[in-house]
């Protein structure tokens, strides 16, 4: 396979290269692609040095798969150009996610909808991926009516500039700001841009993407919060089901979901934390308990590395699915 990684020098792009190497996809030629200012830079992949090339050059090389992590405007302009030459595009931006003609894919949940007709495939938002990984087996069994989600999202979800701001503040240095306020020793109930109705674009993504992947009829609301953690997002999720459940069965269902690990031993102070999820692909679920304030309702805590399963790993898994199932 000839595989291009668009945005190869960025935070997520670098992680994509790492995951591609770990998962040993059958790559005959790697094409690291980035913006004009990065063309000519060198990157190392599988102990081999590669030179970063431009988008134009990458299109001309007609890769089998192009994994994008270069922002929405780049994806809107260039994904169709790659698709036109027969390349399967897996896009990590929000540009195509809510397009009715573009599949929004978490392979463990809905990879089976992919066909040879799909040339642009959307990777969901990082917070959405870990959420639906935990919800999917429960929705199949009990049918979700309503979700109330509060996220605690790490600064790496905003890119390297945000990571640098946190470390600058922590170490008392002046530097460029990614956020309108201090993030160290603080939390910001603000991720993305505010809309006229008071929600943020990140909250809207979480709602609309979850509905698209699981079921459009699930009533969903979200509050997204940025916390001073470098890696891994956490989510407090309240779920109201159509049907009642037994906690032990909930744990069993979650335990049989590929990519999900139940870690729920509160009496021993053991529960998912960002520091445990960092660098791993698994979605960790714990603090499972019945919500006694209304019928058929469950509380749970979900943690996952936003750069791994929340971005790079999911995209690479989509590429693996395409290859394994003969779609590409």
Q: What is the pLDDT of residues 141-160, one digit of tens each?
A: 999 999 999 999 999 999 99
Q: What is the pTM of this model?
A: 0.96
Catalytic residues: 126, 233
Distances (CA, A) of 291 to 12, 216, 275: 36, 24, 27
Q: Checking phi first, is residue 185 left (phi over 0); if not, alpha (psi -120 to 50) or beta?
A: left
Q: What is the pLDDT of residues 171-208, one digit of tens each?
A: 999 999 999 999 999 999 999 999 999 999 999 999 99
Considering the domain 127-306 in this protein, what is its CATH number?
Answer: 3.30.360.10
Task: Outline which parts of the chain fall under CATH 3.40.50.720.
Answer: 2-124+311-324
142: phi then psi, degrees, rounded to nearest 5: -115, -15
Instruction: Give the pLDDT score at 42.
Output: 95
CATH code 3.30.360.10 region(s) in the chain:
127-306
For residue 218, the tally of other CB atoms under 10 A from its CB is 18
- Tell me what pLDDT residue 227 has: 98
pLDDT of residue 218: 98
pLDDT of residue 110: 98
Assess contact for 37 and 64: CB atoms under 8 A: no
List the pLDDT tens digit at each of the 328 positions of the chain. Answer: 999 999 999 999 999 999 999 999 999 999 999 999 999 999 999 999 999 999 999 999 999 999 999 989 999 999 999 999 999 999 999 999 999 999 999 999 999 999 999 999 999 999 999 999 999 999 999 999 999 999 999 999 999 999 999 999 999 999 999 999 999 999 999 999 999 999 999 999 999 999 999 999 999 999 999 999 999 999 999 999 999 999 999 999 999 999 999 999 999 999 999 999 999 999 999 999 999 999 999 999 999 999 999 999 999 999 999 999 999 9
Q: What CATH number does domain 2-124+311-324 carry, 3.90.1310.10, 3.40.50.720, 3.90.76.10, 3.30.470.20? A: 3.40.50.720
Other C-beta atoms lying within 10 Å of the C-beta of residue 223: 16
pLDDT of residue 326: 96
What is the predicted pLDDT for the residue at 295? 98
Per-residue confidence (pLDDT) for residue 131, from 0 to 100: 98
So what's the pLDDT on residue 106?
98
CA distance 272 to 315: 24
Strand, coil or helix: 187: coil
Q: Can you tell me whether residue 322 is helix, strand or coil?
A: helix
Long-range (24+ apart) CB contacts under 8 A made by 106-112 are: 106/132, 106/133, 106/136, 106/213, 106/314, 107/314, 107/317, 107/318, 107/320, 107/321, 108/133, 108/136, 108/257, 108/258, 108/259, 108/317, 109/133, 109/136, 109/213, 109/214, 110/213, 111/318, 111/321
């Amino acid at each position: 396979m000839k595989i291009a990684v668009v945005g190869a020098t960025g935070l997520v792009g670098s992680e994509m290269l790492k995951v591609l190497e770990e998962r040993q996809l059958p790559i005959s030629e790697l094409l690291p692609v980035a913006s004009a200012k990065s063309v000519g830079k060198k990157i190392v992949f599988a102990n081999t040095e590669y030179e970063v090339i431009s988008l134009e050059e990458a299109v001309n090389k007609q890769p089998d798969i192009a994994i994008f992590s270069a922002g929405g405007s780049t994806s809107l302009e260039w994904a169709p150009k790659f698709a036109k030459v027969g390349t399967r595009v897996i896009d990590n931006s929000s540009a195509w996610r809510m397009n009715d003609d573009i599949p929004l894919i978490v392979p463990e949940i809905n990879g089976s909808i992919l066909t040879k007709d799909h040339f642009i495939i959307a990777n969901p938002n990082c917070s959405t991926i870990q959420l639906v990984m935990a919800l999917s087996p429960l929705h199949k069994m009990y049918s979700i009516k309503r979700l109330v989600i509060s996220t605690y999202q790490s600064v790496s979800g905003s890119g390297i500039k945000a990571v640098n701001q946190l470390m600058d503040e922590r170490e008392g240095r002046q530097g460029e700001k990614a956020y309108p306020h201090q993030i160290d020793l603080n939390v910001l109930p603000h991720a993305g841009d505010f809309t006229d109705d008071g929600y943020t674009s990140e909250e809207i993504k979480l709602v609309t993407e979850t509905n698209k992947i699981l079921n459009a009829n699930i009533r969903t609301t979200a509050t997204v919060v940025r916390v001073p953690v470098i890696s891994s997002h956490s989510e407090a999720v309240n779920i109201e089901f159509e049907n009642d459940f037994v906690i032990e069965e909930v744990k069993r269902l979650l335990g049989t979901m590929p990519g999900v690990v139940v870690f729920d031993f509160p009496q021993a102070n053991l529960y998912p934390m960002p520091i445990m999820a960092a660098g791993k692909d698994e979605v960790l679920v714990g603090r499972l308990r019945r919500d006694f304030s209304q019928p058929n309702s469950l509380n749970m805590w979900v943690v996952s590395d936003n750069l791994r399963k929340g971005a790079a790993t999911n995209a690479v898994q989509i590429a693996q699915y395409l290859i394994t199932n003969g779609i590409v």
